[in-house]
Amino acid sequence: MESNGIAGKHGLEGDSDLQFLLTGGDLLKVRSSSWKKTRFYKLQEDCKTMWHESHKTFRSKQTFSIDDIQAVRAGRQSEGLQKYTEDHVEGRCFSIIFRGRRKNLDLIASSEEEAKQWVNALEKVISNMRNLNRQQKTEHWIYNCMRKADKNSDSKMSQKELKRFLHQVNIEVDDDYAEMLFEKCDHSKSGYLEGPEIEHFYKLLTEREEIDVIYGKYAGTDGQMSSTDLLNFLLKEQRESASVDDALKLIEKYEVDDAAKEKQHMTQDGFLMYLHRDEGLVFNHVHKEMYQDMSQPLNHYFISSSHNTYLMEDQLKGPSSTEAYIRALMKSCRCVELDCWDGSEGEPVIYHGYTLTSKILFKDVIKALKEYAFKTSEYPVIISLENHCSVEQQKVMAEHMTSILGSALLTTPLGDAMPTDFPSPEELKGRFLIKGKRLNKLDAFYAADDAVEEDDSVSEDDEAADAEEDEEKKPKKSKLKLAKELSNIVIYCKSVHFNGFEDARDNRAFYEMSSFKEGKAVKLAEESANAYIQHNVSKLSRIYPGGSRTDSSNYNPVPLWNSGCQIVALNFQTPSKELDLNQGRFYPNGFSGYILKPAYLRDPASEFDPITLTKGDWLQHKVLHVMIISAQQLPKLKKKKKSIVDPLVRVEVYGVPADTTEKETVNISNNGFNPMWNEQFQFEVYVPELAMVRFVVEDYDSTSQNDLIGQYALPFTSLQNGYRHVPLLTNNGDVIPSAGLFVHVMVVDAQ
């Protein structure tokens, strides 16, 4: 079948890197020290799928989609390559890292030049795929489904192939309807569709009636939208403060028809293109960039934080991996946890103590942090140490951190005088802060040596002790011998035991922070939220999941954010609603991992209490009207390959208890292609600055739990009014390429 320019190369025609991949070549695949085999790899003609030969009996054709690749990493960065190859092949190695739980592909090229070419070429094709706009992705997707349905590859579509195609795009059409569509397009009456007829069929399929109506209402100039018509739409429907200039910019950016562009008009295709891009999304594209003040003290921000960062799966027997740190950092996580234990040959290791999780070297994790910490965000990373090591290996830890991280490691307070407050994220750009035990106060930096009392042990009463203590018994205060070298590099995040808010206020310096197990923290957030808020105005708090969560599940972070807690650590390796909310919370502000807390969570005299809402600046009562109009191209679920989805949409609001609620549409049977609901919901939101909105699309099942198709969470304050598309993410947080919801949003002040 001809691609009609639909799938193809999208702007890479004649590119030498693309040619290199289309030709393909031999690479050495590495699985273990004994399993290293040469395999042939090439990019298929669709420029979207990699093919590699396989010697397994039933797998003559092995392929993976370019969309499934999360990253390509040059050198011996993966654990497999570090373990099974020698130093001298460094330049010839690279790894392909996949999304989700699929194993990496570790490869060795025959020369360094060739390895470079593979890495560059793959990165170019991946970024090209990612940059395709939504419309092209839709075309790409539909075209690919057509190609799969054309079983005998004669570039013609029989009626049977057409039915197979419709099933592929997740739409169950009864025979009469399929026949009618078919006959409508089979102008040549030949009994199959080819060339332009397939294009016509494709046009009928991609019709969007709901867009026709909106476009028709505003297209007042020869059936097209002039810049004035478009401006009217932006002002009236989208509630934007736009000018004619803004309308002209959109036409310049998105209009596909040159003749219309010449007249400064926008056709319906251009209009659809605009609705699918940043300006037409439900998320306010201004918030995509850094838009908050980054010069306030560190503890005035929510900080994206991970727990048991080393785990890829659960915490009883899952693999530990440096890859898990890289993934968290690339998601702009700014506080990572290192569980440190004595290892063999004097080298400390990281794993989940007392369990069967695999071990990784402490120094390898520090190297990974150095390499990946500031690729997504340049703001500071906190290294939270859970230290179970002997003094000897603690010295090794300190040595690795100082030598590997170099000047990026903060080893003295900023400024010439004893600080009284935290530095800002802005001042700490590109720096690592160590969170851990410290033998003395920070004043030691400014005092004459003999004036400081030294003790070589500290009470071990944080998570390390927590892991072993029984809830009922009072823990015996065990002592941890602490190496001076390690103690000295703990500056702004000194771990101390929490003995109540009063003790913290009267006896603790600003840089002395406590960690709270989720149960304790939730209790404080429910019973003394205002005291917790005031504590967090001057101190940092870290919350972590209870040890009973052996499946690495997550707790709800929202009540803790409502109480001003900055470091609410979640298991990044576990797909969950809680992690979706975390991703939504930290998506704005340039994906920096830092979000400025609302003013009433930064004010020492704040009277805000999320549980008993009193009058105050936080009360900005809004009414949120949401109309769920339609969805497009919802994917079929892997475990139900045979069945078409029966989608329903749920809108969830999270925030202070008074704002937390959800509402859902009816389910539509057998249509994942273009289901229409046109259902309206209304929500009362009292504290908008703390509210999150989550759109969830599920496959309805009358006999068991509904399955998640896709979801999208964002802060209430980042919602855009008007007709908007909502992108959909998988439970791993990856964008589903061509799927989306179409909604109408209206936020108004309550009367």
Give the integer Cα–Cα distance in Å for 309 and 658.
33
Tell me the C-alpha to C-alpha distance, in Å, between residue 485 and each of 281, 449, 529. 51, 16, 38
- Residues whose CB falls within 8 Å of the CB of residue 730, separated by 6 or more in sequence, listed in order: 575, 710, 736
Tokens of 304: 């994206």
Of 508, 597, 523, 519, nearest to 532 (Cα)?
Answer: 523
493 annotated binding-site participant: no
Q: Residue 560 and residue 485: Cα distance in Å, rounded?
A: 34
> Whole-number mean pLDDT of the chain?
88
Known binding residue 339? Answer is: yes
Q: Please indicate if the annotation marks 106 as binding a ligand.
A: no
> How far is the C-alpha of 573 from the C-alpha of 708, rounded, in Å?
18
Task: Map residue 657 onto helix, strand or coil.
Answer: helix
Beta carbons of 97 and 64 less than 8 angstroms apart: no
How far apart are the C-alpha atoms of 625 and 394, rounded to whole Å? 56
Check whether residue 248 and residue 268 sit in a common domain: yes
Residues 215 and 265 in one domain: yes
* Domain co-membership, 161 together with 248: no
Check: CB of residue 728 under 8 Å from CB of residue 736: yes
Q: How many residues does the chain have?
A: 751
Do 35 and 167 have their domain in common?
no
CA distance 270 to 563: 45
In sequence order, what are the residues at sequence separation of 6 or more whose Cβ sits closer than 8 angstroms to the Cβ of residue 548?
none
Same domain membership, residue 181 and residue 114: no
Rounded distance between C-alpha atoms, residue 84 and residue 33, angstroms: 5
> In Å, how far are 316, 380, 497, 521, 739 from 516, measured between CA atoms?
22, 22, 9, 6, 40
- Beta-carbon contacts of 562 under 8 Å, excluding residues fewer than 6 positions away, are 525, 529, 610, 655, 656, 690
Please give the Cα distance from 614 to 612 (Å, whole number).
6
Q: Is 48 marked within a binding site?
A: yes
Is 116 flagged in the annotation as binding? no
Residue linked to tokens 């005088």: 417
Residue 611 lies in a domain: no
Calpha distance 125→465 (Å, rounded): 49
Whether 23 and 85 share a structural domain: yes
Q: Is 15 annotated as a binding residue?
A: no
- Tell me whether residue 53 is annotated as binding: yes
- From the list 694, 708, 607, 614, the residue with the least C-alpha distance to 658 is 614
644 is in an annotated binding site: yes
Residue 473 CB coordination number (10 Å): 7
Residues 72 and 169 in one domain: no
Q: Which of 97, 131, 165 is where one domain is finished?
A: 131
CB distance 589 to 720 below 8 Å: no
**Residue 700 CB: number of other CB atoms within 10 A?**
16
Confirm whether pTM is higher than 0.95.
no
Q: Pairing relation of β-strands 62-65 and 335-341?
A: unpaired
Exposure pattern of 157-177 as b/e (b: 16+ CB <10 Å)? Answer: bbbebbbbbbbbbbbbbeeee
Whether 37 has a binding-site annotation, put simply, is: yes
* Boundary residue ending a domain (542, 570, 601): 601
Tokens of 393: 């290996």
Residue 542 in marked binding region: yes
Which run of H or E residues covers position 122?
helix 112-131
Q: What is the DSSP letter of 730?
A: -
DSSP secondary structure code for residue 151 in this structure: T
Would you say 493 and 435 are in contact if contact means Cβ atoms under 8 Å apart? Answer: yes
Let me know if residue 175 belongs to a domain.
Answer: yes
Query: Looking at residue 7, what is its pLDDT?
Result: 38
Q: Which of 171, 205, 239 marks a domain boundary?
A: 205
Q: Two tokens at 558?
A: 């929202």
Whether 320 has a binding-site annotation, put simply, is no
Q: Is 334 annotated as a binding residue?
A: no
Q: What CATH number corresponds to the domain at position 657? A: 2.60.40.150
- Strand pairing of 594-596 and 622-632? unpaired
Smallest CA-to-CA distance from 540 within 374, 297, 338 is with 297
Q: Identify which of 204, 206, 187, 197 has the alpha carbon closest to the alpha carbon of residue 1.
A: 197
Same-domain status, 338 and 485: yes
Residue 614 lies in a domain: no
**Are 487 and 454 a contacting pair, CB within 8 Å?**
no
52 known ligand binder: yes
Q: Where does 346-492 have alpha helices with state H?
A: 362-372, 391-405, 463-466, 484-487
- Same domain, residue pair 433 and 486: yes
Are 65 and 700 a contacting pair, CB within 8 Å? no
Is 536 annotated in a binding site? The answer is no
751 is in an annotated binding site: no
In a domain, 200, yes or no: yes
- 189 carries a ligand binding annotation: no
Are the C-beta atoms of 586 and 595 separated by less than 8 Å? yes
Q: Does the annotation flag 179 for ligand binding? A: no
**In-domain check, residue 613:** no
Answer whether residue 88 is part of any domain.
yes
Number of domains present in the structure of the chain: 5
Q: What is the pLDDT of residue 469?
A: 43
Low-confidence stretches of the chain (pLDDT beneath 50) = 1-8, 450-452, 464-465, 467-474
**Angle at the Cα of 667 (from 276 to 724), degrees rounded to 5?**
20
- Is 515 known to sit in a ligand binding site? yes
Residues 340 and 404 in one domain: yes
**Could you tell me the two tokens for 467?**
């892991």
CATH number at residue 163: 1.10.238.10
CATH code, domain with 28:
2.30.29.30
Instruction: Indicate whether 199 and 337 sit together in one domain.
Output: no
Q: Which two tokens stand for residue 235?
A: 């002002």
CA torsion 665→669→674→676, rounded to 10°? -40
The answer to whether residue 287 is domain-embedded is no
* 516 is a domain residue: yes
Which residues are identified as catalytic?
307, 352
Does 43 appear as a known binding residue? yes
What's the pLDDT score for residue 373? Answer: 96
Q: Say which DSSP state 380 is in.
A: -
Residue 445: which H helix or E strand, with range? Answer: none
418 and 544 assigned to the same domain = yes
Q: Are 42 and 22 in contact (CB under 8 A)?
A: yes
| Residue 627 Rama label (left phi>0; alpha psi -120 to 50; beta) | beta
Q: Which residues pair with 283 in a beta bridge?
A: 719
Domain that holds residue 688: 622-749
